[in-house]
Each structure stands twice: as C-alpha cells, then as structure tokens.
Chains A and B, each alone.
Chain A
C-alpha cells in the first residue's frame, strides 16, 4: 500500500500550499539502506515543508530515521543508503537530489546550513577556528575568503562569544556550548537560508542548552531562516518550535502547530511520548514510560502502521493497511486509523501535565 502524497493534508507541510513558497520543500522522499537482509526503508514517503520564518521541530527516537532525513536534505545520505524516490526542492535552486559535484557542494554549507550531531567534535582539532572558516570559504569559491572572517566575527559577537578569541582558538580550548555556537557560525557564515540543526543540545547541560536555543531563536528571527531542529527531546521542540513534526520508524506520524500537537495530540505515539517525560511541576508519578523498544531498521514493518507493535490501541486493521494521513484540525494532520475512522473525534489529550 502506498500512501498518496498529494492530498489536502500533507503531513509535515505548512498551513497551505502557497504559490510562492520560500524555503525547503520535501515531497514523497524515500530512502532505503541496502543491507544483507535486502533493501530496508529508513525513510518512507515523507512530505515536509520548511518555510522561511518558521522553526520546525522534527522529533523522533534513535532509529526513527530523523538523521537520515536531515542528511537527505543535503543530498548527503551516506552509503549504503540512497534516495529512491521523491524530491527536495529549495526555492530559487531546484531539486537538490538531482545536483551533483560542485553545484551540490556549493549548496551544502552555502544556502543549506547544517549543524552536525555532536558538532562539539566536528571541528578539526589541529586547526584554529579561523583557518577552518577560510577553508570553508575557499571550498565554496568565495572570491575574497578573508571577508568571511568579518562576517564570522559579527556572528560570533551576536551569539555572545568573544570573536577574536574564538577565531584564534583550537577546538579543545572551547567549551561544549561554545563549540555548538561555533557550529552554528559555520552553518550561517555563507548566508544560509535554511538552518538544519541535528541534535543541537544533546551533550549540553541545561544552562548551555537554554543559551544555545535562545541564540538559535534570535538568529532565526533576524535572518528569517527556515530552521529545522532535529531532536529526540520533545520538550526542546515544545519550547522553541512553531511547528512539530513527529516521526516514527521513518514515517511522519503527526504534524501541526506546536500548541495544537501538544494540547490535542492525535497519534498514540505522540501521546505516549508526551506522557513519558518527567515534568518539573504537577504530579510526577503521572509520567509513564513508553512501552516496547525503539524501532530498528530490520524490524520496521513494511505493511500497516509502523507503531502498532507498541500501540495500546492497535486494531486488526493496523497490521494490514497503511494508515492514511488525515487532517484533524487546521494545519494539523496525523497518520492513524483511529483518527480517520469513526473513532476520530479529536480526542483531548489526557492530563499530561497532571
């Protein structure tokens, strides 16, 4: 069963398909990994709109294919994975999955700024930050690479870093939070329009996390970026994103405006995820662990709902038919049989906060 991608309710897409879309648009993206057990789909039929001026939060557990999806936006899926269907269209550039060679390299790190997972360690330990910025400029054919340092300096100051010190530092001389900010400087210094942050706060403590998130939010607003934050921590997304996209086993299972998704979570997975987070106030014992274990590539079912094995509400139909994407509110969609069928009364979220 193949879900038809073109319906009123695009999972992951914005409020409506406006004619003049500005940002990055993913349509029908499927990525498979060639393994000994055959070709396994890590990402299946994903539609996603990253609109300029919107922060999108992409939530998923490890094994949900979220990092693969992020790399696909750069057409940089590592072997043995490959994109088998779909497109990633950047306004003003075209389909990135068709770019090759030099054109592709200039888009990466150019219009598309990417902050790596564990970008704390993605700097070359033997080179000063400034020298690495110059390398970046040269590899992108910037006419006067030195000018980039001025821009980097402005960005550093903007993020509350001591620019002169940072640019002349080696990686080990910077703290985790500082390195994460330097990662963002690298992503933005060539005037990116799309900022992709893969697990930006995973190794940081609470204070650094809050500071980095605030910096991202401010720069996002100032430059009117299309920002996507990829994380396993739905709280981070809930704090800063305008839209939430929940992925499970390579599928988008729910998307919508942050407030809507949190208040009226429509997919059982989203609800379970929200329940599994211990909260700072309210009845702490209301938190419930998510049952089962996260999906791995080999165990993702190819037919039917991908979440059914862990779903408390699974019906026989869930193992036979792929759930269609249905709208459960303005700009809020989910892929669940329960939401589509007669049981689809937009269910109020149970008392998550307690």
Chain B
C-alpha cells in the first residue's frame, strides 16, 4: 500500500529573475493506493497531477507531509531500501516516443534490467531471453517482430506496450500511468487501457492512473477511487461512478461537462456547464482557489478556503462551500439500445 498524507510541494520561481514567485504544485494532498487497487487522478494541465505521480515514483522530492510505502516513511529509509522500494513503483510516461532510448533495440532495452535480475537471483541467460519474450506477449506484442527493432520502427501504440513490458521486468507492485494514452490514437487507446486493466486483474498490480480522460479512468479502474485535483488541491474524491454521476464540486462538473457528447448515441446531461475560462495561476486567491472561474461562486467563496469534507455518500468528499449534485455527463440514448 502506498499512502501520502498532507503532501505539499512548491516549485520555486518560474518566470525569470524578476518574476521570482513560488508556484504551489501540491497542497496538503492525502491519497491512498491500496494493493491491487486503482486510483485515478484527473485535472487540467498544470494542476499538479504529474508532480504527484513523480513523487510517488521517487523521482521528485516533496516539501512537507509524508509518503508511506507499506507503512514505511520514505524520508526515513536508507538509500538501499529507498531504491529497492521505489523500484517496485514504475512510471509509465506520457510520451512513448521519448520513453524509449532511440539508440537501443527493444531487445537491449528489455534485457538490461532482466540481466540485472537474473544475476541477483542466479538465473540463466536463457531465462532473460525467455522472460523478455513472455513479457512482450503479455502486453500483446509479437516478440520475434519487436525484439530486433529500434523504437522508431514501431507505432506509438506498440512503443507504449514496450514501455509497459519494460516496467514489468522488475516485477513491480504498482504502476503510475501518467497520461499513458494521451499521445496515442483513440482507436488504439483501448488496447493499452485493456492491458492496464488486465495487469490489475491477473497480476494484482495497483495502479495510479493520471489522466484528463475520465472515461479512460473509468475503464481501467471502475471499482477504484477518483481524485479531482485543482491547482494542487484535492477538491473532490470518491468512488469513480459516484463522482461521474453525482459530482458536487463545480470544478468536477466543468471537467465532466467538457467530455464530448457523441450526438446520436448520447444526449448531453441536463445540467451540462459551459467551458471554464482559461486558468490564470498568477494570483493566489485568499479564498476558494476556483472562485475566479467558478460559475456558482458566491461572495463568501472569496473569503475562506473550503476544507475537504464528507459529502453524503460513503467515501465521497468535496471541498466546496456551496456544493450541489448535478448531472452533467452524457446520457446514452435509449433508442440506440433497441438494436440487436
């Protein structure tokens, strides 16, 4: 189990010498990823979701709060323990084009870490070759086709599968998928999402799924938790379908309203909201972080920042002074279901 409590991270000034200004990337985030569980994190670009994923993989430091892996605080681990534990949490990058070394074949990429494992566990060289083929097959690739090839000879979808197979060489306990399908054709996304789904079911991997595509989050972790991040703060969290169907925070509602409606097959939800105006994170408001963009903002929203509180249904939390459940996501057309 991986758990973060009160995690905060601030990036020091961006914008040159004069505009020296701290940018909070995470604000007191609490999150639990149970073994075999799934947590999806959604939010727009720059909301801190990538930073959160990188901290969980040990690739980024944090300012305050704690990160617990199997109950052990990361900052108190020895270097060896740290390395050992974070190795079990593998990151799947967004960009399959830069996540593979362009000068190394798939075979070299896969064998590098497998050899390390083989020598640590006294296994033969033949085992590494076998294992590499096995893992590629697991992610739906033909080993004889892929192994001798360089990354640029493979399609984006195939590369992302290689990236997943490479992560599996160290027998990880958790995967952090950071926008893992954003750069892949829509028609091929489901294949990748299906692998993540199967890895959870078959190997019991836990999954932190970072995305802006809520439907994809639903596909890989329908039984899991959904966290909505806005400017580094968790503004709403709960079971995936509860949040999708009965969101109470206006920001979540805007995110869900932005999902395209497949006209003909679906109709827009009755309370669908118009898109928010662009984020301006230059100002740090004293009150609710969303107040300047919120369609439902009232005067008191400018004064105090709402804490994350229970919202009725079990496990559903929100941080809003004036929450109201709205039905914003598309509804399947009943007419279409008469076929077949």
Question: With a CB–CB cut-off of 8 A, which chain B residues contact A276?
Answer: 186-187, 189-190
B329 near A263 (CB under 8 angstroms)? no
Residue from B190, B277, B338 whose CB has the most chain A CB atoms within 10 Å: B190
B244 near A280 (CB under 8 angstroms)? yes
B263 near A258 (CB under 8 angstroms)? yes
Q: Kindly state the separation between the CA atoms of A351 and B334 in the bound complex, as whole angstroms.
A: 10
Mark out the residues of chain A between 133 and 158 whose CB falls within 8 Å of any chain B CB in the assembled complex. Answer: none
7 closest cross-chain pairs (CB), A and B: A348-B339, A262-B264, A353-B332, A239-B260, A210-B258, A259-B264, A278-B219
Spell out A's residues near B (CB within 8 Å): 61-62, 160, 175-178, 204-211, 213-214, 232-236, 238-240, 258-263, 273-274, 276-282, 284, 287-290, 293-294, 348-354
Q: A352-B336, A353-B333 are in contact. Are A278 and B216 (CB under 8 A)?
A: yes
B265 near A293 (CB under 8 angstroms)? no
24 contacting pairs across A/B (C-beta < 8 A): A62-B155, A175-B278, A206-B213, A208-B44, A208-B278, A210-B260, A232-B185, A233-B186, A233-B260, A238-B263, A259-B263, A259-B264, A262-B263, A262-B265, A276-B186, A278-B190, A278-B215, A279-B266, A280-B329, A281-B244, A287-B219, A288-B190, A293-B158, A353-B333
Shortest CB distance A200–B (Å): 13
B261 near A238 (CB under 8 angstroms)? yes
B41: Cβ under 8 A from any A Cβ: no
B331: Cβ under 8 A from any A Cβ: yes
Pick the interface stretch among B26-34, B70-78, B97-105, B249-257. Answer: B249-257
Partner of B186, one of A232, A282, A352: A232
Q: Kindly state the separation between the CA atoms of A284 and B332 in the bound complex, as whole angstroms.
A: 12
Question: With a CB–CB cut-off of 8 A, which chain A residues contact B260?
Answer: 209-210, 213, 233, 235-236, 238-240
Q: How large is the interface on B (under 10, 10 to 19, 20 to 34, 35 or more residues)?
A: 35 or more
B264 near A238 (CB under 8 angstroms)? yes
Question: With a CB–CB cut-off of 8 A, which chain B residues contact A233?
Answer: 186, 260
Q: Kindly state the separation between the CA atoms of A177 and B337 in the bound complex, as whole angstroms.
A: 36
Q: Kindly state the separation between the CA atoms of A236 and B186 in the bound complex, as whole angstroms.
A: 11
Q: Kindly state the separation between the CA atoms of A213 and B259 in the bound complex, as whole angstroms.
A: 11
B112: Cβ under 8 A from any A Cβ: no
B45: Cβ under 8 A from any A Cβ: yes
B255 near A206 (CB under 8 angstroms)? yes
Q: Kindly state the separation between the CA atoms of A284 and B40 in the bound complex, as whole angstroms.
A: 15
Question: With a CB–CB cut-off of 8 A, which chain A residues contact B213?
Answer: 206
Q: Kindly state the separation between the CA atoms of A239 and B267 in the bound complex, as whole angstroms.
A: 10
Residue of B nearest to A261 (CB): B264
B308: Cβ under 8 A from any A Cβ: no
Residue of B nearest to A277 (CB): B186
Question: With a CB–CB cut-off of 8 A, which chain B residues contact A210?
Answer: 257-258, 260, 275
Question: With a CB–CB cut-off of 8 A, which chain B residues contact A176?
Answer: 45
Shortest CB distance B217–A (Å): 9
Question: With a CB–CB cut-off of 8 A, which chain A residues contact B294?
Answer: none
Residue of A nearest to B268 (CB): A239
Residue of A nearest to B339 (CB): A348
Shortest CB distance B249–A (Å): 14
